[in-house]
Structure 1
Amino acid sequence: MNRLHAVVYGRVQGVGYRAVVQKRAATLGVCGYVRNMPDGTVEIVAEGTEQVLIDLIDIANEGSGWCSVEKIDVAYSAAEGNLEDFSIAY
């Protein structure tokens, strides 16, 4: 298992982005969260297999119909095992 930390840049707040990512990520069986950051980016933290995390990045790139993803910074590390389901964090 791996841990993903991603920061999504672009028009990703106030456009339903987190809800779309949360709904689609939950179908992957990944654990983690998605949340808005004060600087206008969105943070995604998740744990799962390498393939599931790759699929999650694909979902993050697609986003919602109203968003515009400019780039995603991605970092991987060893899973910590302290995440449950996939939720929207506030």
Structure 2
Amino acid sequence: MCASRPSAPDPSETVRLTAWVRGRVQGVGFRWHTRARALAIGELCGFASNLADGRVQVVAEGGRERCERLLSWLRDGDTPGAVSGVTEIWDTPRGGYEDFAIR
């Protein structure tokens, strides 16, 4: 008997994306542009925050497809500065966000 294939993610499923963005991403308007992109995608809540080690942490909650669009932009979009890499994890939403903020 063959193992069953995992089902494809549901694009309308509500998820939590946490991404850590490496590169020259502080002091270049990266958080502001990330917030603007999240608002343009729509229906995303969370934040973008500078970390002490030079990375930017992005937390977004909303539909999987919308979070995937934000992640794609973080990796390949016309971002300010220079992104050298993005690490992400997916989780269940925790809530508690009113909108998408800069911290």
Q: Which runs of 5+ in 2 are unaligned?
A: 1-13
Q: Secondary structure at the match of 1:27?
A: helix
* CA displacement at 1:59 relative to structure 2: 2.1
Matching of residues 1-90 of structure 1 within 5 Å: 1-29=14-42, 30-61=44-75, 62=77, 63-64=79-80, 67-89=81-103
What is the aligned length?
87
- Which is higher, the Rg of structure 1 or of structure 2? 2
State the distance in 1 between where 2:72 and 2:61 align.
15
Q: Please, which runs of 5 or more residues in structure 1 have no aligned partner?
A: none
Which has more strand, going by share of residues?
1
What letter is aligned with 2:46?
A: G
Higher relative contact order (CA 8 A, sep 6+): 1
Give runs of ≥4 in structure 1 deviating > 6 Å: none
Please, what TM-score do these two structures have when normalized by structure 1? Answer: 0.91
Q: What TM-score does the superposition give when structure 2 sets the normalisation length?
A: 0.80
How large is the Cα RMSD of the aligned pairs?
A: 0.9
